[in-house]
Amino acid sequence: MAEIIDGKILSQKVKDELKVKVEDFKNKYGRQITLAVILVGENPASQVYVKNKIKATEYVGMKSLSFYLPEDASEEEVKETVLSLASNNGVDGILVQLPLPKHLDENKILNLIPAEKDVDGFLAENVGNLTLGLPTTVACTPFGVLKMLQSINIDLCGKNAVVLGRSNIVGKPMAMLLLKENCTVTICHSKTQNLKDICKNADILVAAIGKPKFVTADMVKDGAVVIDVGINRTENGLVGDVDFDNVKEKASYITPVPGGVGPMTIAMLLENTYLCAERREQAL
């Protein structure tokens, strides 16, 4: 039976450690670290995420600026908001909550965020640095998953890691991070053949495909570490991409949903904001 990697406990530890660093920053540089969040529209899930991000930002002692724009906001309006934060020296991080309403061009808007304020690690410069193995801002969810893997003290070197999903936000950066840790990495997606065989070979299996209970026990190797990034809203409440009840009987470690990767994503957003603020001060 698997041990649970508790994202609530680990994220609390990350936030409490950050609290001290954020206070030290304030004493050292005489200013408060500031994170700006932009939410366009009324997507209910995004509203919850943004609310939780703001609460956590304030918890660690950072200043939170929030901008709520209507569903029908023009691209110009959103761009102006981003640009004013980009040129504001007091702002350390800018987060545009995704997804944006369909009429807005996500790339055009995100590209207005200066790379040094890209707390999501979404911009080409930061993604490129990650690929090159250079220090950079890493997307919050994969960064949180890595923190979870490090928390159980397993040696990642040479392990077979399988990432289910190839999104820019999770799958691709996750694969790059695991590669940097010397894993042998396979990325699987909707067109992958022999998916089950590939998964069965995984020492570390990261599921990020958005399909409720997709990963079943027969796809999991005995003793594998299973990380569930999925958050699927179903009639029976929030469900991950992993069939938790059955897979936990085979895995050595597993993350629950809720209370697993989700809270880690927010903690790592704050860690990224702190790192961006430090780097900005170092660059002055």
Q: Which of 176, 239, 181, 245 is nearest to 211 (CA)?
A: 239
Strand partners, 180: none
Site size with ligand GUN, rule: CB under 6 A: 9
Closest-CA residue to 26 (of 284, 279, 283, 278):
278
Stretch that binds ligand GUN, among 4-12, 19-27, 54-62, 95-103 (CB under 6 A): 95-103
94 - beta bridge partners?
36, 118
* Residue 97 is among the residues annotated as catalytic for this protein: yes
Continuous segment of H or E residues that includes residue 90? none
As a whole number of angstroms, the distance between CA 264 and CA 210 comes to 18
CA 181 to chain centre: 18
Catalytic residue (choose from 15, 21, 53, 248):
53
Residue 27 CA to its chain's centroid (Å):
29
Residues 138, 106: contact at Cβ < 8 Å? no
120 is catalytic: yes
Report how far residue 14's alpha carbon sits from residue 272's, in angstroms, rounded to the nearest whole number.
Answer: 12
> Which CB, 93 or 212, lies closer to ligand GUN?
93
Binding mask 155-174 for ligand GUN (x = CB under 6 A): --------------x-----
Catalytic member of 120, 228, 241, 243: 120
6 is catalytic: no
**Peptide bond preceding 99: is omega within 30 degrees of 0, i.e. cis?**
yes
Among the residue ranges 90-98, 127-135, 159-167, 255-263, the one whose residues contact ligand GUN (CB under 6 A): 90-98
- SS3 label, residue 185: strand
**Is residue 271 near ligand GUN by the rule CB under 6 A?**
no
Q: Which of 33, 95, 198, 224 binds ligand GUN (CB under 6 A)?
A: 95
Among 140, 204, 219, 277, binds ligand GUN (CB under 6 A): 140
> Which one of 65, 98, 115, 154 is in contact with ligand GUN (CB under 6 A)?
98
- The answer to the question of residue 97 lying near ligand GUN (CB under 6 A) is yes
Catalytic, out of 97, 118, 221, 248: 97
| CA quadruple 172, 225, 134, 57: dihedral sign | positive
Residue nearest to ligand GUN according to CB distances in the complex: 98
C-beta of 225 vs 261, nearer to ligand GUN: 261
Q: Is 120 in the site for ligand GUN (CB under 6 A)?
A: yes
Q: Where are the alpha helices (DSSP H) in the chain?
A: 7-29, 44-59, 75-86, 106-110, 124-132, 140-151, 171-180, 195-200, 244-247, 261-283
Q: Which is nearer to ligand GUN, 47 or 201 (CB)?
A: 47
Q: How far is the CB of 49 from ligand GUN (least distance, A)?
A: 6
Of 5 and 96, which CB lies nearer to ligand GUN in the complex structure?
96
Print the binding letters for residues 10-29 with ligand GUN: x by CB under 6 A, - otherwise: --------------------
Please identify every residue annotated as catalytic: 53, 97, 120
Question: Given the rule CB under 6 A, which residues bind ligand GUN?
Answer: 95-98, 120, 140-141, 169, 265
